[in-house]
Amino acid sequence: MTEKEVRQAVKDAGVKLLESNLVQGTWGNISIRLDDKKMVVTPSAMDYIRMRPEDTVVVDIETLEYDSPIKPTSEKKIHAAIYRDRPEIGAVIHSHPLWSSALAAARKEIPVISEEHKKLLGGDSVRAGAYGLPGTKKLTNGAVEAIKGRNACFLSNHGIVVCAETIEGAFDVCKAMEENSRAYIESVVGRELNKEEIDIDDIFEVFYKRATK
């Protein structure tokens, strides 16, 4: 794809995430590899609907330098680190879907429930990267380590990161991640509370009980 096409694809992916309820407001960030040396990333703190393709930022994968008056996402380090570590990866999404974010707060590795999701997520489990503040080296290193050999991971207390060869593939992984998180929560929390229907308050009730034991 040309740079113009990549910028448009990043914009379209942001809108698609919003429409699919996989991100809220200005949260999360998206990137697509432009070539071996550069990536196109979403700008910092800009709504996906309001964002124009020309508001996306071209960032050097090695140096993180960019030539734009618009500031790129503060999580560009995670995107670049994954591209450096995984030459086959062409797109990365960091997001905060509801069910996945609840599990990210638990900071634990969870199993992947279905065979279909195992193929998309790239393994039998989803790991949680070490906790670090947004934009820090600790958060970046934790994400790269947790996603090795996988297509998705949790960022402890901070949502999820997914990757794939294409942006369409990354979206499918993001969707599978949320579906798997919900299936896991409904299974585990449902058993503990003896309920078939689970809502977000139920999740926090179980997590609170575990945390205060």
Q: What's residue 135's pLDDT?
A: 81
Q: What is the CATH number of domain 3-211?
A: 3.40.225.10
Q: Is 75 exposed, middle or buried (0-12, 13-18, 19+ CB in 10 A)?
A: buried
Mind listing the pLDDT tens digit for each residue in 145-179? Answer: 999 999 999 999 889 999 999 999 999 999 999 99
Which pTM was predicted? 0.89
179 an active-site residue?
Answer: no
Please check whether residue 58 is in contact with residue 67, taking contact to mean a CB–CB distance below 8 angstroms: yes
Mind listing the pLDDT tens digit for each residue in 58-85? Answer: 999 999 999 999 999 999 999 999 999 9
**Per-residue DSSP letter, 150:** S
Categorize the per-residue pLDDT at 210 as very low, low, confident or very high, splitting at 50, 70 and 90.
low
Active-site residue, selected from the candidate residues 65, 75, 145, 192 = 75
Residue 98, SS3?
Answer: helix
The sign of the torsion formed by the CA atoms of 73, 75, 80, 83 equals negative
